[in-house]
Structure 1
Amino acid sequence: RRWIPPSPTRRMNPRRSHRKNLCIFLHPVTDSSEKPTHIRFLVPKALAGYVIGKGGSTITQFQDNSGAQILLSRNQEYFPGTTCRIVVMSGTTVQVLTAFQLVLAKLHCQLQAEDGSDVELRRTRVVIPHSSCGSIIGKGGATIRSFIEDSKAGIKISPLDFELSDRLLTLSGTMEEQMRAIALILTKLTEEDDYSQQMHSPNSYRKGIFFHK
């Protein structure tokens, strides 16, 4: 059965409605749904305004609905080599996945409105610390292959750039496939003791970047 994303503008209790929606993505991952974590991903500059909303209204509502903190790099502050702004979400695993789902649903609805057809956001790029890529890949690529088989999403890791401490993880597929993939990936990352500290570690491209909340 095709997954229908919830309305991104509807106010709801994340401990109820979203937990029910997210159970298909989290189960049977691990028991880390309440552990603190974070995720960083890219949003094209042309779509960033839809995530923020007028006067920050949309991003504030996403925070209220999910319980996660959501930060966005300021205008014209992009991930190196792209024209995409960086979104940072932090909270428990459930809160972060809820916020991620709300943003994908918002962008999905906006693309439908502009295109006039049932289009989907077919690709998402997640920022992963290079030091954490090994756990995602696994021995001989076993872990990433299992994630691809489980989620049915395409998952690719960008080549190592020695000038950056991060790499891009590209997810491709339907929204349902991307959500399952990100649930698997985030849960795996959250199991690492050092991952939660990575959000505050210095990166050359983030010097001087202020985040809009």
Structure 2
Amino acid sequence: MESKVSEGGLNVTLTIRLLMHGKEVGSIIGKKGETVKKMREESGARINISEGNCPERIVTITGPTDAIFKAFAMIAYKFEEDIINSMSNSPATSKPPVTLRLVVPASQCGSLIGKGGSKIKEIRESTGAQVQVAGDMLPNSTERAVTVSGTPDAIIQCVKQICVVMLESPPKGATIPYRPKPASTPVIFSGGQVRADPLAASAANLSLLLQHQPLPAYTIQGQYAIPHPDLTKLHQLAMQQTPFTPLGQTTPAFPGMDANPQAGTHELTIPNDLIGCIIGRQGTKINEIRQMSGAQIKIANAMEGSAERQISITGSLASISLAQYLINARLTSEVTGMGSL
């Protein structure tokens, strides 16, 4: 597979996400959108740029591998051109490298790093590019930033090798995608008070979620369970042993929420024919959901004559919510054929 992909001869459709600052996005779009239009036409890849006046934007590149490599080449050379232009007005003599930030599901980062860092070392040595995988996940997501820097040619070779790894090791379980947030969004509390504090925002969303028993991890749309987007905020909280306290408060934000992580149990019923997508091969999916949510999850044995299986989720309210979210994301991807969310 590696040789085929590096020659651009493998017609596999891939989606690569890039994280860019506003200035970089402006460079890609160009005057009246001319640059991005040219990139789309010449590469044959779909290039989408996330909306919004955020300091960061997501640039999504989709297409066959050879089209993706062409698009990356055009972006890398455009960034180098920008560096050269900026240096003409600068006393700096050494040219800084071109840098791109990829957004990769955390479940694929292990394969990218390799055993004892062997894979990432091999990529660095064979391409001459610098590759860094962030240790922490991006906020409210299960994705990590992978920073690639070097000459445009080194970056193109590096991206080819990263694509090979991503094709050989697809994401495991549901992926909560990173969505850049505006610099400061006002939050309207139930009493009508407006605050722009992002910590208070998380607490407000969470307290609204935790007012209901059992927690609404999804909404029903047609016959399918659609994951509730607000629950992406629970990821870090589910890992904590104590309730989240907003700045300036000494009492827990959620009265009655026990600091003990074993705060409750929630039961779910899943059709037998869908239980496999939640368990995964040799239990990989269910173990990942346990790890990410911090909840204990038990799946009852199949009962004779029953078309359903019982799942018990035990843990803090936040970890139960996150486990529910992840289970429903798996179900949604299975029944709609969307693959990993």
Same fold (TM over 0.5): yes
2:179 is equivalent to residue 205 of structure 1: yes
* Contact 1:66-1:95 within 8 A present in 2 as well: yes
Per the TM alignment, residue 193 of structure 1 is displaced from its structure 2 partner at its CA by 4.2
1:136 maps to amino acid? L
* Contact 2:108-2:170 within 8 A present in 1 as well: no
Q: In 2, Cα distance between the equivalents of 1:32 and 1:130?
A: 28
Matches within 5 A, 1:112-191: 112-116=84-88, 119=95, 121-161=97-137, 163-191=140-168
Distance 1:63 1:31, change over 3 A: closer
3-state SS of 1:112 partner: helix
Corresponding residue of 2:79: 107
1:105 maps to amino acid? Y
Q: In 1, Cα distance between the equivalents of 2:29 and 2:121?
A: 35
Task: Name whichever of 125-134 and 42-51 sits farther off.
Answer: 42-51
**TM-score, normalised relative to structure 1:** 0.71
2:77 maps to amino acid? A
Structure 2: stretches of 5+ with no match in the other structure: 181-228, 230-341
Per the TM alignment, residue 52 of structure 1 is displaced from its structure 2 partner at its CA by 0.8
In the alignment of these two chains, the number of paired residues is 176
**TM-score, normalised relative to structure 2:** 0.46
* Contact 2:143-2:176 within 8 A present in 1 as well: no
Corresponding residue of 1:86: 58
Per the TM alignment, residue 70 of structure 1 is displaced from its structure 2 partner at its CA by 0.1
3-state SS of 2:48 partner: strand
Higher-Rg structure is 2
Please give the root-mean-square deviation of Cα atoms over the aligned residues, in Å: 3.0
Distance 1:191 1:179, change over 3 A: same
* Contact 1:89-1:96 within 8 A present in 2 as well: yes
Per the TM alignment, residue 118 of structure 1 is displaced from its structure 2 partner at its CA by 8.2
Corresponding residue of 1:63: 40
* Contact 1:107-1:121 within 8 A present in 2 as well: no
* Contact 1:40-1:86 within 8 A present in 2 as well: yes
Higher RCO (CA < 8 A, seq sep 6+): 1
Structure 1: stretches of 5+ with no match in the other structure: 1-25, 78-82, 208-213
State percent identity of aligned pairs. Answer: 25
